[in-house]
Amino acid sequence: MGNLRFLLLAVIVAGGGFYWFGNQQDVPFTGRSQFVTVGLDQASALGEEAYNEILSQSDVVTRGETAAMVERIGRKLADVAAPENPGFEWQFTLVDSPQANAFALPGGYTAVYTGLLPLTVNEDGLAAVIGHEMGHAIARHGSERMSQQQVVQVGAVAVGLLLGDQSIELQRIAMQAFGLGAQYGFALPFSRLHEEEADYIGLILTARACFDPREAPKIWERMSAAGNGQPPEFASTHPSHATRIDNLNKWMPDALAVGEASCGSEQ
């Protein structure tokens, strides 16, 4: 039984390696290689379903200057994202809610909450936020997270096989350790990477669309000044405000160059 167990483990590891390397693709804008097994059509269908469910339970704003502004800025960003658009039909919706939140789901289903507007202050700031959320969708971060869950599940099976002849208590401890390792060594670092990647993509889109990318770090400065506390970065799904500000300022020369090339004196 021991030999059979190790044979099964070897097959799982080898198969997992082939599966991992056989489902790599490059992220637009950054060129990072990512593991994605979820098709575009499937992801978009899931995004549309989730979007409709969220909006059915929300106070959607369909008229007025602010809703028109969200639509106008979103369309301008979508136009300049066309070369990297994976095939999404972008939608932009304003939701009346005190939450300081925004999102873009697979398929391009995007929403901005009114509670975020005091932090964005102006159209340039709002463009940076919408561009960031679009960056998540363009980079297919949602599909990547779903695909990574498959890897974690295979890893749990492998651990179970490896310790199949050990005591229940030892198996329990090992699975808990595996879970913590997967969370802090895999899931959370990737989540922070996704946020940084979306920050970069959003900054470039903002500049391409002739908005001022220098408003992007100011949003996080205001967020930090508002006292919105964060857990330690290693335990968080998001980089710290300070890290985001530093990154955005580091990337700013590239964004300004993009804006100059795209817009000239218009920016």
Active site residue: 89, 133, 195, 260, which one?
Answer: 133
61 near 117, Cβ under 8 Å?
no
Residue 94: CB partners within 8 Å, gap ≥ 6? 60, 61, 66, 67, 70, 111, 112, 114
Q: Which of 142, 262, 265, 145 minimizes the C-alpha distance to 203?
A: 262
Q: Which of 212, 264, 262 minimizes the C-alpha distance to 80?
A: 262
Return the higher-pLDDT residue of 150 and 90: 90
Look at the alpha carbons of 207, 189, 22, 151 in this order and tell me if their dihedral is positive or negative: negative
What pTM was estimated for this model as a whole? 0.89
Domain tally for the chain?
1
Tens digit of pLDDT for each residue in 67-88?
A: 999 999 999 999 999 999 999 9
Residue bearing tokens 């809610």 = 97
Examine the residue annotation and report whether 84 is marked as an active-site residue of this protein. no
**pLDDT for 1 beyond 80:** no
Residue bearing tokens 């329990």 = 172
Tens digit of pLDDT for each residue in 94-107?
A: 999 999 999 999 99
Distance between CA atoms of residues 104 and 96, nearest Å: 16
Distance between CA atoms of residues 9 and 4, nearest Å: 9
Residue 124: CB partners within 8 Å, gap ≥ 6? 206, 211, 212, 213, 214, 215
Q: Which of 130, 127, 128, 124 minimizes the C-alpha distance to 111?
A: 130
pLDDT at 249: 98
Tens digit of pLDDT for each residue in 180-233?
A: 898 888 899 999 999 999 999 999 999 999 999 999 999 999 988 887 667 788
pLDDT at 101: 94
DSSP 245-256: HHHHHHHHHHHH
Residue 161 tokens, joined: 């096989």
Residue 174 CB-density burial (10 A; 0-12 exposed, 13-18 middle, 19+ buried): middle
User: In this structure, which long-range contacts are made by residues 161-164, counting pairs with CB atoms below 8 Å and at least 24 apart in sequence?
Assistant: 161/5, 161/8, 161/9, 161/12, 162/5, 162/9, 164/5
Domain that includes residue 132, residue range: 2-266
Strand 60-61, strand 91-95: pairing = antiparallel
Percent of the chain with pLDDT over 70: 96
**pLDDT for 262 beyond 80:** yes
